[in-house]
Every structure is written in C-alpha cells, then in structure tokens.
Amino acid sequence: MSEIRSLRLGVLAYDFPHKKTQDFLLRLFAEGYKIEAVIAGPRVELKLPPLGLRTKIRHTALLHPEGVAGRIGVGYHALPHDDNRVVELIRSLRLDLGIIAGARILKKPLIEAFGIGVINFHPGLIPEARGLDALQWSVHQGLPLGVTAHLIDEHVDAGTTLIKQRIPVYRDDVFQDLSERLYETQLEMLTPAIEAASRGEGTPVDPATSYNRKMPVDMEREVAAKLNEYVRRFSVKSV
C-alpha cells in the first residue's frame, strides 16, 4: 500500500469551482496520496442543445480548486490542457499517473507524458455505454448502471478498462438519485483504480465499438417516461 501512496500523481482539473474537482482533490488527500500537481484548465463554453431532462443536482457553496490545492500543499498550475507547457510540466515533475477530476478531450502527447497513463472515471459501463449522457442512454437501452475506471487513449471512452462497479437502484429513485450515486461511486473507486493501474492490470477496449453522442431532446422525454419501468426492473430492496 505504501508503494501505491508513493506514486507521483497529477490531477487534471477545472480552474473554477466544480464539484468533482473539489471532491477528488479532498478524497485523494484524505486517503493519503501525495498529489504533485493540479493542472487546471479554463472554462470552455460548449455549444450544446437545450437541456430537455435534468439529471444532476445543482451544487452550491463549492470551493475554488486553487484554494483547495493551497490548503493541502499542492502546486497549482492554471493552464489549458492542450497547451504544450502542460506536457513539459508533466515530464519535468516525472508524474506517474494522471487523475481526471475535470477535463475535456485530452490529446495523445499529454496522455503519453505520464509514466503509467491517465485514469478517467466514466459514469457508464464500457463498452456498452461509451460516450455522452451515459445515464440516459443506459436507461433508454435497458442497460445496468455503473462506473468504469479506465486508462484513456485518444479515442472516446476507450483505452484500457481497469475496474467496473455497478450501482444499486432503488424503487423510489429519480434521475438525480442515480446520477449522484454514479458520482459517489467514482470517489469510492479512486484507490482500487489507482492500485489496478499501478499493477499494470486492465483489459483493452476495442475503439471500433460504437459510442453515444448527446441525446436529442425528444429522446430525453422518452427516457423520462421509461424511468419507472427501468427502476422496477433493476431495483433492489429499498433502504
């Protein structure tokens, strides 16, 4: 275990208050990892269609990641992730492993700059639920819900699968419950995924398998109507 804790970690994050960035930094710190650097990219405005189905909780009272990094004694670097200086920084710090706590699509030179690679936590089971809106597509297609930790490559939600974990579904769940449980499972999987990556474990993902794009608004409405049937099918005894 001490050998795992000695890995040189870099966290790829957002340079603005963000729930996942905040929680991943605090969880890694609480579990005894020494983070060598936080590399925080700026906000990017995405040209997405109007939201038809809200699945996530709106969080407030979030901390800026620069303040969190300062409190836990981690160097903070506000740089776009596609900036050439990021690759130079990763190499100069001799980082073993990158952890995605907030990032857009990462380019191959950045990924390959890490000694082991970069871990992403995808809120869907790969390869069945690759791509965007994994929760919605899983409900639409009748797939079980779960999280996949994988070492990324230049393809969408591909690379090497490290571990997968299904989440429980309860009869009174709404979309926000499922989304939050998928998110909390990512936090629980941090250490097992880091351990698997350090041991060189994993299963390659065929990048030729299909992946989902943003779900159209009219289809989101169909998915909303399917939720009750879905939770009845997959639910365990309520707690």
d(CA 176, CA 58): 10
Cite the DSSP H helix spans in 73-216: 84-92, 108-113, 134-141, 175-188, 190-198
Residue 44's φ and ψ, nearest 5 degrees, are -120, 125
> How many other C-beta atoms can be found within 10 angstroms of the C-beta atom of residue 142?
11
Residue 42 is predicted with a pLDDT of 97
CATH of region 2-236, choose from 1.10.10.60, 3.40.50.170, 3.40.640.10, 2.40.400.10 = 3.40.50.170
- The helix/strand/coil state of 220 is helix
d(CA 210, CA 128): 8
Tokens of 180: 């939050």
Strand ordering across the sheet containing 160-166: 75-78, 35-41, 9-14, 97-100, 117-122, 146-151, 160-166, 203-204
Q: Which residues make beta-bridge pairs with 118? A: 98
**Greatest distance between any 2 Cα atoms in the chain:** 53
Q: What mean pLDDT comes out for the span 138-143?
A: 98
Q: What mean pLDDT comes out for the span 148-163?
A: 97
pLDDT tier at 46, thresholds 50, 70, 90:
confident
d(CA 123, CA 148): 7
Q: What are the pLDDT digits (tens) for 210-222? A: 999 999 999 999 9
The residues near 178 (Cβ < 8 Å, ≥ 6 apart) are 55, 135, 145, 167, 169
Q: What are the pLDDT digits (tens) for 60-117? A: 999 999 999 999 999 999 999 999 999 999 999 999 999 999 999 999 999 999 999 9
